[in-house]
Amino acid sequence: MDTGEFRRLWNEIEPIGRADSGGYLRFSWTEADLELRQWFHTQAKRRGLRYEEDRNGNLYAWWDAAKEQVIDPDAPHPHGAVLTGSHFDSVPHGGAYDGPLGIVSGFLAIDALRSAGAEPKRPIGIAAFTEEEGGRFGVPCLGSRLMTGAIDPERARALTDPDGTTLAEAMNAAGAEPDLIGPDPERLQRIAAFIELHIEQGRALDGGESPVAVASAIWPHGRWRVTFTGVADHAGTTRLPDRRDPMLTFAFAVLAARKEARLAGGVATVGRVEAEPNATNAIASTVTAWLDVRAPDEAVLSEILSGFESKVTERAGRDGTEVAMSAESESPIVEFDADLRERVAELLGGAPVVPTAAGHDAGVLSAHVPTAMLFVRNPTGVSHAPGEAASDEDCAAGAAALAAVLRDLAC
Ligand code: GLV
Ligand code: MN
Ligand code: MN
Ligand code: MN
């Protein structure tokens, strides 16, 4: 595939939602998101693909088979579609590629298959899943979780963004129908395989031969909201022994999370925090922090969490504060379909097979349909930040690899 084709399509979405930081503010159901959705619709129309929006706000562009053929009558989905795609939304000031690269590559792959004269024997679809990052409403992979029934729609409707707007309100404001969200088993049954192409989020491929890798597994991970409650008081006149300062317990908790993760062999991050009343000259009344923990297996994840909880509870006792922890999302370990993974890696000339500690819609879908992921080399290794990078050559190679996989599975 020629890099010019990638660049031309990429240039169309690159400015949408870009902030002065060089990062992106592409949150679900905001102006930027609606512009990206419109772009997706235009791309589908331009190619004569059938456009669809499901009840959960996920978008599809379908290249239907002229005449459906049964490829493998013993397969669980003999007529099922091969779906590719990813997400448009970003974390606050996230990189350009995380998500959109998988969608753009889907359109380029279909273009390449058509120029090569390929004909699908089963439908090939491109999906854009909504709110994959949880960057606005807190729960990652919300669109795919809703579709697969992994989150209660009542809970989803009531999720709030940092301004207190609920998902239901945001969907209504964007002209979508929140009353309809929820499991969509019939749609899921029509999918025979899902292939998500994604920017690599580390440097496993840097310096190597291959611009593309295949994912083996996703580390189990989750997000917890931790609320520290104390007593607000004057910053000058309250004697140190009289204070019940939740900021102290919070500070201890950040260090404890790191220590427990290091000892057990996982990672833990506190990247978001809010203090009330957030005044320079007052002791805080509450501090709310979001804890993100990931580990190579479930046992290590539980070890980190239980160590964290007991150390922080003990510390709160000494500080005269209270601490409460609630899970916002939990994502079990994912082992991608072994047959599909091997088939894809072999097709791509023995591409490296690597695990990841990042979450994806592919992880959610893998509990229901055979799923594989392709990673495109990232020379900086940075992700969820403006420094995320990929060369046009590698992006074009990624789209060509995706085209080869779609052809193998569907044509
Ligand atoms: C999603 O990209 C995540 O891993 O947080
Ligand atoms: Mn991400
Ligand atoms: Mn992503
Ligand atoms: Mn005063």
Q: What is the mean pLDDT of residues 166-177?
A: 98
91, 174: one domain: yes
Q: How far apart are CA 141 and CA 131, in angstroms?
A: 6
Can you tell me whether residue 212 is helix, strand or coil? Answer: strand
178, 69: one domain: yes
> For 330-389, how does the pLDDT look when each residue is reduced to its tens digit (9 = 90+)?
999 999 999 999 999 999 999 999 999 999 999 999 999 999 999 999 999 999 999 999
Can you tell me whether residue 211 is helix, strand or coil? Answer: coil
Question: Can you give the pLDDT at residue 253?
Answer: 99
Q: What is the mean pLDDT of residues 161-172?
A: 98
Question: Can you give the pLDDT at residue 64?
Answer: 92
- Which value, in Å, is the radius of gyration of the alpha carbons in the chain? 23
Please, what's the largest Cα pairwise distance for the chain? 80
> For 89-119, how does the pLDDT look when each residue is reduced to its tens digit (9 = 90+)?
999 999 999 999 999 999 999 999 999 999 9
Nearest-CA neighbor of 131 among 407, 353, 329, 396?
A: 329
CB 359 less than 6 A from any atom of ligand 1: yes
> For 193-225, how does the pLDDT look when each residue is reduced to its tens digit (9 = 90+)?
999 999 999 999 999 999 999 999 999 999 999
How many angstroms is it from 233 CA to the middle of ligand 2?
39
Q: What is the DSSP string of 350-392?
A: S--EEEESS--HHHHHTTTS-EEEEEE--SS---SSTT----H
Q: Count up the domains in the chain and report the number.
A: 2
What is the best residue among 131, 133, 144, 361 to mutate for testing ligand 1's pocket, by most ligand atoms within 8 Å of CB? Answer: 133
How many angstroms is it from 133 CA to the middle of ligand 3?
7
Asked if residues 266 and 293 have their Cβ atoms less than 8 Å apart, the reply is yes
117, 58: one domain: yes
Q: Is the pLDDT of residue 69 over 90?
A: no
Count CB-CB contacts under 10 A for residue 376: 26
Q: Is the pLDDT of residue 61 over 60?
A: yes
CB 133 less than 6 A from any atom of ligand 1: yes
Q: How far apart are CA 101 and CA 360, in angstroms?
A: 13
Asked if residues 319 and 245 have their Cβ atoms less than 8 Å apart, the reply is yes
- Looking up residue 47, the CATH number of its domain turns out to be 3.40.630.10
- Looking at the CA of 376, which ligand is closest? 3
Question: Can you give the pLDDT at residue 183?
Answer: 98
Range of the domain at 34: 3-219+333-410
28, 125: one domain: yes
253, 340: one domain: no
What is the best residue among 272, 360, 388 to mutate for testing ligand 1's pocket, by most ligand atoms within 8 Å of CB? Answer: 360
How many angstroms is it from 48 CA to the middle of ligand 3?
27
Q: Is the pLDDT of residue 264 over 90?
A: yes
Question: Can you give the pLDDT at residue 380?
Answer: 97
- Looking at the CA of 361, which ligand is closest? 3
- Looking at the CA of 101, which ligand is closest? 3
DSSP H or E segment with residue 272: strand 267-276
Write out the residues surrounding ion ligand 3, Cβ under 5 A: 98-99
> For 294-341, how does the pLDDT look when each residue is reduced to its tens digit (9 = 90+)?
999 999 999 999 999 999 999 999 999 999 999 999 999 999 999 999
255, 237: one domain: yes
DSSP H or E segment with residue 344: helix 338-347
Question: Can you give the pLDDT at residue 386?
Answer: 98
290, 242: one domain: yes
Q: Which atom of ligand 1 is nearest to the CA of 292?
A: 5
286, 403: one domain: no
241, 94: one domain: no
- Looking up residue 275, the CATH number of its domain turns out to be 3.30.70.360
* Mean pLDDT estimate for the chain: 96
Measure the CA angle with vertex 313, ends 308 and 315; round to 5°. Answer: 100
According to the 3-state scheme, what is the secondary structure of 23-81? CECCCCCCHHHHHHHHHHHHHHHHCCCEEEECCCCCEEEEECCCCCCCCCCCCCCCCCE
- Looking at the CA of 236, which ligand is closest? 4
Predicted confidence band of residue 66 (pLDDT cuts 50, 70, 90) = confident
Whether the upstream peptide bond of residue 277 has omega within 30° of 0, thus cis, is yes
Question: Can you give the pLDDT at residue 68?
Answer: 63
Asked if residues 24 and 90 have their Cβ atoms less than 8 Å apart, the reply is yes
How many angstroms is it from 99 CA to the middle of ligand 3?
4
Final residue of a domain: which of 281, 304, 331?
A: 331
Q: Is the pLDDT of residue 70 over 90?
A: no
Question: Can you give the pLDDT at residue 65?
Answer: 86
Final residue of a domain: which of 331, 352, 371?
A: 331
Q: Is the pLDDT of residue 76 over 60?
A: no
Final residue of a domain: which of 287, 314, 331?
A: 331
What's the ipTM?
A: 0.93
255, 368: one domain: no
pTM, whole model, 2 decimals? 0.96
How many angstroms is it from 282 CA to the middle of ligand 3?
39
143, 250: one domain: no
CB 80 less than 6 A from any atom of ligand 1: no
How many angstroms is it from 245 CA to the middle of ligand 4?
19
How many angstroms is it from 238 CA to the middle of ligand 4?
13
Question: Can you give the pLDDT at residue 75?
Answer: 61
CB 358 less than 6 A from any atom of ligand 1: yes
- Looking at the CA of 357, which ligand is closest? 1
How many angstroms is it from 281 CA to the middle of ligand 4?
9
Question: Can you give the pLDDT at residue 1?
Answer: 86
How many angstroms is it from 276 CA to the middle of ligand 4?
18
74, 113: one domain: yes
CB 140 less than 6 A from any atom of ligand 1: yes
Q: How far apart are CA 363 and CA 357, in angstroms?
A: 11
